[in-house]
């Protein structure tokens, strides 16, 4: 899933957790649970607006980062101060798996080959494949629900 959705899950979980390392760990685990749900990110490689896969991935990453910045301001402004530690650690744990994956993609670091395979395998637990549009139709409501959970509690 997009980093924005993973971060929302980390924040939604982290706000209920006082112990930072537990918020981090739960955020980390939530990443793999969400990645197991078919979510259509693979469809980015067919995005017609851009000519190369590299440009498509760059554009998606920039849009993802921009939406994360926009919604995380909401999460922070509407959360109570004591919740922010758990929220930040939850977000860090939830986005670390994709940061590790990206690091491996960029560097090809052999010591992370096992991790790359583990991360990729979570995407293949269910055989259903969604296209980009269907992926958005799933991820946007998930993001809205998680954001409501962050704002309400």
In this structure, the number of other CB atoms found within 10 A of the CB of residue 3 comes to 20
Hey, which residues between 21 and 50 contact Zn ion (CB under 5 A)?
35
Rounded-to-integer distance, Cα 115 and Cα 43, Å: 23
Between 28 and 75, CB nearer to Zn ion: 28
Between 42 and 84, CB nearer to Zn ion: 42
Q: Cα 115 to the chain's mean position, in Å?
A: 17
Q: How many residues bind Zn ion (CB under 5 A)?
A: 2
Rounded-to-integer distance, Cα 15 and Cα 150, Å: 7
DSSP secondary structure string, 73-88?
A: HHHHHTS-GGGHHHHH
Between 20 and 123, CB nearer to Zn ion: 123
Token pair recorded at residue 151: 């704002």
Smallest gap from residue 63 Cβ to Zn ion (A)? 17
Smallest gap from residue 69 Cβ to Zn ion (A)? 19
Closest by CA position to 1, among listed 94, 86, 72, 66: 94
Total length of the chain: 153
Residue 98 interacts with Zn ion (CB under 5 A): yes or no: yes
The 110-139 contact track toward Zn ion, x by CB under 5 A, reads ------------------------------
Smallest gap from residue 3 Cβ to Zn ion (A)? 9
Between 17 and 34, CB nearer to Zn ion: 34
Chain residues binding Zn ion by CB under 5 A are 35, 98
């Amino acid at each position: 899933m997009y980093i924005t959705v993973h971060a929302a899950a980390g924040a939604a979980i982290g706000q209920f957790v006082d112990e930072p390392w537990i918020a981090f760990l739960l955020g980390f685990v939530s990443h793999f649970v969400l990645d197991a749900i078919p979510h259509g990110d693979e469809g980015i490689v067919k995005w017609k607006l851009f000519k190369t896969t590299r440009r498509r991935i760059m554009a998606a990453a920039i849009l993802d980062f921009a939406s994360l910045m926009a919604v995380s301001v909401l999460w922070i402004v509407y959360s109570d101060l004591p919740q922010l530690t758990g929220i930040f650690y939850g977000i860090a744990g939830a986005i670390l798996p994709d940061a590790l994956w990206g690091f491996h993609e960029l560097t090809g670091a052999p010591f992370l080959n096992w991790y790359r395979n583990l991360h990729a395998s979570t995407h293949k637990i269910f055989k259903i494949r969604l296209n980009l549009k269907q992926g958005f139709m799933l991820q946007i409501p998930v993001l809205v629900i998680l954001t409501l959970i962050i704002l309400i509690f």
